[in-house]
């Protein structure tokens, strides 16, 4: 019989001010994290503050934003209008308070919900704000959202706002700012706001040509023709084609980098294919029209609706939407054009005109489309035969242990949380696969078992890769044969042993993804699973350690009677133990590509011919088996960044 629990008035709790943010941070910043991932909350905190300064510039106030990050503390100073002096405290501490509810003061702003700066305040150990206005300043200081002091003074400072904060280690742990991520964020702001100078730790960033600068500066391969740059009211686009696989299109709304896309990016992709098909008067497949495309789109809309507080995906369907009252006082809703029709109309008209004027690039584009079509049809036939052969031999079911719930075809409604935590582990060997399969949460974690080492996709022909059984089955399991939007799992996790063979398998899998499905990496879906290298225990306690430093600390803490186990393979760890390592506290290293990095150069360095440069790199970064007993192995730079 279930325990009887009284439900009384005492169970009704009201959370005042920023208490709710501290209790439910995920509702406001998406995730916590320590800074290893570009989606971690500390970057959202930074962005929320900078967004306010960007909005001031967009309204015509202030031409410079100064950003300083030192020892984890962030300082942002703009030269806009400054927060009204009597509203400084409530503007940063009372939810649903702000000037952006009044569209006369802010138009086409990123943040409209009166939440951003309050979340920064609530999730910071210390937070300071000072507004400068016409010779006066109003300041306030906080600790974890609680006001510790405030006041007003005279000042000689120029108008604007200063915000200084230090993220709360109770929330973010031993965090750090990855300055590569921050620099990319700052550069994107400069591309989207021509005339604005952003100064990051003393280095200024300013763009004269908007999105054209973004695409040109981030091209990793020579494009087939000079990028096309088109601008109109509330829209700016750039596009070209290259010889790489996949699509590399950056997207923005009101200056916000929507790295997860949304309605505007879907409309842009559709518009490119439709316009090219209409121009050539041929029924080309959309995927062939977009294969190898590089570009960007930025739109400005009134009161955007983003999916989640982190604003990485646009959910709006209309360019603007307003409620007004008719002559009788009845409430009515006026809406502007759909984003789809707005983007389609702009692209079809302006891209068509551009191609008619710049006739020299027309055959280049059509040759690219035809080449993509020919390869797709040839490879598709090979893959189909391979899949049919695998179905007949029932190999597929032996290799994929799918989720019981998450991607059951009968389940049509999935929450955002379900989608975000859905994962597939790519591992090798019966032992490791068996361990993860027994330890996983079968509701949303799948396991794909490789048999031995996949072929080297960099060295082999596309036809040879298409004929490969292992890689065919992997792509079928991921669901991306036809379109990356059909991806069945949000997290693709490569889980291999911490030895030479495991490292080699890891690199072969990443090479395949990087060459043929690079957008899976660009969109942040691909990760490396960290697993403990050591177990340190005494009679009372077990400690699992992921590196040498953790091991040494465990030895000091446990003191006497310590026994140390070195794990060399995933199969050595029991399923009971392994559950902790792939649960809520799972450690993942994101696999990332800096925009300016050449995929071809990275693959050539790691997977091409054995050169003296690579030999020197391996000697500097990899350890012998004896050293692995005592030294942390495979720093993230060896597979995250390329040959630096």
Q: Write out pLDDT tens, residues 626-643.
A: 444 443 333 333 333 333
CATH code reported for the domain at 19-205: 3.30.565.10
Q: Is residue 513 within 8 Å of 521, Cβ to Cβ?
A: yes
In this predicted structure, what is the pLDDT of residue 307? 72
Give residue-wise pLDDT tens across range 220-266: 778 999 999 999 988 999 999 998 888 889 899 887 788 778 889 99
Domain with CATH 3.40.50.670 in the chain: 393-531+567-640
- Name the 3-class secondary structure at 28: helix
Model confidence band, residue 595 (pLDDT cutoffs 50, 70, 90): low
Average pLDDT, the chain: 80
Task: Determine phi and psi for 489, rounding to 5 degrees.
Answer: -135, 140
Closest to 273 measured CA to CA, from 348, 329, 375: 348
In this predicted structure, what is the pLDDT of residue 167? 93
d(CA 505, CA 634): 14
Task: Determine phi and psi for 571, rounding to 5 degrees.
Answer: -70, -15
Is the domain spanning 393-531+567-640 CATH 3.40.50.670? The answer is yes
Higher pLDDT, 50 or 468: 50
Domain with CATH 3.30.230.10 in the chain: 211-372
% of the chain exceeding 70 in pLDDT = 82
User: Structure pTM?
Assistant: 0.73
Higher pLDDT, 159 or 382: 159
Determine how many CB atoms are found less than 10 A away from the CB of residue 597.
16
d(CA 539, CA 521): 44
Q: Select 211-372's CATH number: 3.30.1360.120, 3.30.230.10, 3.30.70.20, 3.40.50.10680.
A: 3.30.230.10
Q: Within a 13 Å sphere around the CA of 164, how many CA atoms are in the beta-carbon half? A: 12
Cβ-Cβ contacts under 8 Å for 66 (sequence gap 6 or more) = 75, 76, 77, 78, 198, 199
Domain with CATH 3.30.565.10 in the chain: 19-205
Residues of 573-584 as b/e, b for ≥16 C-beta within 10 angstroms? beeebbeebbee
């Amino acid at each position: 019989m279930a325990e009887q629990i009284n439900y009384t008035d005492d169970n009704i709790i009201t959370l005042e001010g920023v208490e709710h943010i501290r209790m439910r941070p995920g509702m406001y910043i998406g995730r916590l994290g320590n800074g290893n991932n570009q989606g971690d909350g500390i970057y959202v905190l930074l962005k929320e503050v900078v967004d306010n300064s960007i909005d001031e510039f967009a309204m015509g106030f202030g031409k410079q934003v100064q950003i300083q990050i030192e020892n984890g503390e962030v300082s942002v100073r703009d030269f806009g209008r400054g927060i009204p002096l009597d509203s400084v405290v409530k503007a940063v501490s009372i939810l649903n308070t702000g000037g952006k509810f009044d569209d006369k003061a802010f138009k086409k702003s990123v943040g409209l919900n009166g939440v951003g700066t309050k979340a920064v305040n609530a999730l910071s150990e210390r937070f300071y704000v000072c507004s400068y206005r016409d010779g006066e300043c109003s300041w306030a200081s906080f600790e974890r959202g609680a006001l510790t002091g405030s006041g007003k003074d005279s000042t000689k400072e120029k108008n604007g706002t200063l915000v200084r904060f230090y993220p709360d280690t109770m929330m973010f742990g031993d965090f750090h700012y990855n300055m590569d991520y921050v620099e990319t964020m700052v550069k994107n702001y400069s591309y989207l706001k021509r005339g604005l100078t952003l100064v990051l730790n003393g280095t200024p960033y300013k763009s004269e040509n908007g999105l054209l600068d973004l695409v040109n500066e981030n091209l990793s391969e020579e494009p087939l023709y000079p990028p096309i740059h088109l601008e109109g009211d509330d829209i700016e686009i750039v596009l070209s084609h290259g010889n790489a696989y996949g699509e590399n299109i950056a997207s923005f709304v009101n200056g916000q980098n929507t790295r997860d896309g949304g309605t505007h990016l879907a409309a842009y992709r559709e518009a490119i294919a439709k316009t090219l098909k209409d121009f050539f008067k041929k029924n080309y497949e959309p995927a062939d029209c977009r294969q190898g495309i590089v570009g960007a789109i930025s739109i400005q809309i009134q009161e955007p609706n983003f999916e989640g507080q982190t604003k990485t995906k646009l959910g709006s369907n209309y360019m603007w939407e307003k409620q007004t009252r008719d002559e009788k006082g009845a409430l009515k809703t006026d809406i502007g054009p759909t984003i789809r029709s707005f983007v389609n109309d702009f692209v079809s008209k302006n891209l068509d005109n551009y191609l008619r004027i710049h006739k020299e690039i027309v055959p280049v584009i059509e040759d690219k489309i035809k080449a993509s079509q020919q390869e797709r049809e040839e490879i598709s036939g090979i893959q189909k035969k391979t899949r049919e052969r695998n179905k007949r031999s029932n190999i597929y079911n032996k290799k994929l242990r799918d989720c019981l719930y998450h991607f059951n075809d009968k389940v049509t409604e999935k929450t955002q949380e379900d989608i975000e935590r859905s994962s597939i582990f790519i591992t090798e060997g019966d032992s490791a696969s068996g361990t993860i399969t027994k330890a996983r949460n079968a509701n949303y974690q799948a396991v794909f078992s490789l048999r031995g080492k996949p072929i080297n996709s960099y060295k082999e022909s596309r036809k040879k890769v298409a004929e490969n059984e292992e890689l065919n089955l992997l792509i079928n399991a991921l669901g991306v044969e036809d379109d990356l939007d059909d991806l069945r799992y949000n997290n693709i996790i490569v889980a291999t042993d911490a030895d030479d063979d495991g490292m080699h398998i890891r690199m072969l899998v990443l090479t395949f993804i990087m060459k043929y499905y690079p957008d899976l990496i660009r969109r942040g879906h691909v990760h490396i699973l960290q697993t403990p290298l050591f177990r340190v225990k005494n009679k009372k306690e077990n400690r699992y350690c992921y590196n040498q430093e953790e091991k040494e600390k465990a030895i000091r803490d446990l003191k006497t009677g310590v026994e140390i186990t070195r794990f060399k393979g995933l199969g050595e760890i029991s399923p009971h133990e392994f559950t902790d390592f792939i649960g809520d506290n799972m450690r993942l290293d994101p696999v990332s590509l800096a925009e300016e990095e050449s995929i071809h150069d990275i693959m050539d360095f790691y997977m091409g011919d054995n050169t003296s440069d690579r030999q020197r790199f391996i000697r500097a970064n990899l350890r012998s088996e004896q050293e692995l007993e005592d030294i942390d192995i495979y720093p993230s730079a060896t597979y995250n960044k390329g040959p630096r």
